[in-house]
Every structure is written in C-alpha cells, then in structure tokens.
Structure 1
C-alpha cells in the first residue's frame, strides 16, 4: 500500500512552517492561526470542541488559547447555561488579522492545486474528507487512553 500519509504530513508541515514565518509579523506564534480561524468561524465554541475540531489534545489547545487571549486575539466568556464552559470569541484585533490569514491560506491552496482541474480538486477534497472521517474514530479512541489493535 502506498504511504500517502507521509506525503500529507510533509505537505502539512511545509505549509505550517511557511505560515508560521509569515504570521510572525502579525504576532501570531507557531500554529496559533489554526485556532484563531476556527474560533472566528465558530463563535462561542468551547475549548473541548475546538480541540476536537483541529484534532489536538486539550492541553495543547489550552496553551494556544491562553496565548491567543494573552495577546489580545480572543476572549473567553462564561456560558450562561454551564458555568464550567468558557465560550471563545475573537476580539477586534483578532478579526482584523483574519483576512490576512485567509489570503495566505487561499494563496497556499492555489499554489498546492496548480495544474489541477476543477473536477480533480473536488475529487481530492472529497477523498481527504473521507480520510479525515476514517481516522476520527481512532483519534477519539486513543485520546481516551485506549490502544489501537494493529
């Protein structure tokens, strides 16, 4: 079987590395843009759902959220129905840099997909969504302290 996950990993790391360098000028630390975009697109999301959305452990998500809040990009608000939950929102400062992040993302997409037809892009997108769905169950299993059976 072809090891496509290796290629996906290389692509993801390369693009994240580029983003981290380019986003230094707007004071976003390593990987924080991912969280900021998801909070912007899902106002009022709680940390647990955010961590699940980006497939990262809660400790890493907590650190990123704390740094984004400290740097004025997001704020927390108590949930009226469940006081344990803190709802996450983007501040005006965070909103002001969102368009820059999206432009960078769109540029990266256009570079990565250069030479692909519209149909190929649609097929690739659908296949990657399937891959994501396929790994989701294992991700949840392992995050809950279980072991996968090889």
Structure 2
C-alpha cells in the first residue's frame, strides 16, 4: 500500500553502470591485495603513472572524489612506496605526485587486468557494439560532468 507514494525510477541504466563498476572494483581489489593496494587505490596509482607531476586537486577532480579521500589515499600509497611527492616550487602548499619505480612496474599489471576486464565485459559484442557502447557512455559522462561541476561548487 505504501508503494503508491514512491517515485518510479524511469530507467535502470545507472544501476547497471554502477553494478559493472562495482563488480570490476571488487575483482580488482581482490587481485591487487597481493600488491598491498587497498580498496580503490589502483585507480589513483594508474592516474599518477599516466600524469606524472599531477597535483592533489587535479587528481581529485579527475577521479571525481573529494580532496580528503585523495589525501588519505595518497598518504597510503606514499607509505607503500608507490608514490613520490615533491613540493611545488611555485606554490609551497602544493605537492606534485610522481610514480615510483615500483608503481611503474605495478602499472603494467594493473592495466593488463583492466584490459582483461574490458574483454570480459565486451565478450559477445561486435566491434560496432563496442564502439557504440563507448560513444554512448562517453556522452553520458560529458552530460553529467556539467551537473557535477555545478554541484561541486556548492
């Protein structure tokens, strides 16, 4: 009886995207434990390897997480020997992040696992379907980014 007061979800696409993302994160977290990478740290590691010298604010924005999460995660990656921090010459309050040699070696393993997950996700997809899925998800991300920027400023 109380269901009549609930709103109706118009489309379950975000639930599907979320389920895919959570499944991949769960698989990755289990596989990367042996590398002393804790929950979700591999995402930070890959972005630092791909963007050496990135600062905490840009990394937070790139990953769509708050600065506190980024700071805590980076501190753990520094402690594990994956990330090197260098103070900015231009702004002494800012740190630039660089991958260590260990991070660069680990990066290959992480990307290989990411590629494996991509192949699993796209099994039984034609090349056209793969391209279309990417195009549509990229368009969704671009659409929601504007909203994210507005909400983030509040």
Establish whether TM, by shorter chain, passes 0.5.
yes
Deviations 1:1-56 (A, max 9, x none): 42200100011011100100000011101100000000000011111111111111
Among 89, 95, 99, the alignment partner of 1:90 is 99
- Secondary structure of residue in 2 paired with 1:49: helix
For 1:141 and 1:62, the matched residues in 2 are separated by 23
Match of 2:28 in 1: 19
Q: State the Cα deviation string for residues 84-133 of structure 1 (Å, max 9, x = none).
A: 22111000111111111011101000000001111111111111111111
CA-based RMSD? 1.0
Q: Which runs of 5+ in 2 are unaligned?
A: 1-9
Q: Secondary structure in 1 aligned to 2:91? A: coil
For residues 103 and 125 of structure 1, the distance between their equivalents in structure 2, rounded to whole angstroms, comes to 19
Question: Which has the higher Rg, Structure 1 or Structure 2?
Answer: 2
Q: Which runs of 4+ in 1 moved over 4 A?
A: none
Q: When the two structures are superposed, what TM-score results if normalisation uses the length of structure 2?
A: 0.90
Gaps of 5+ in 1: 146-150
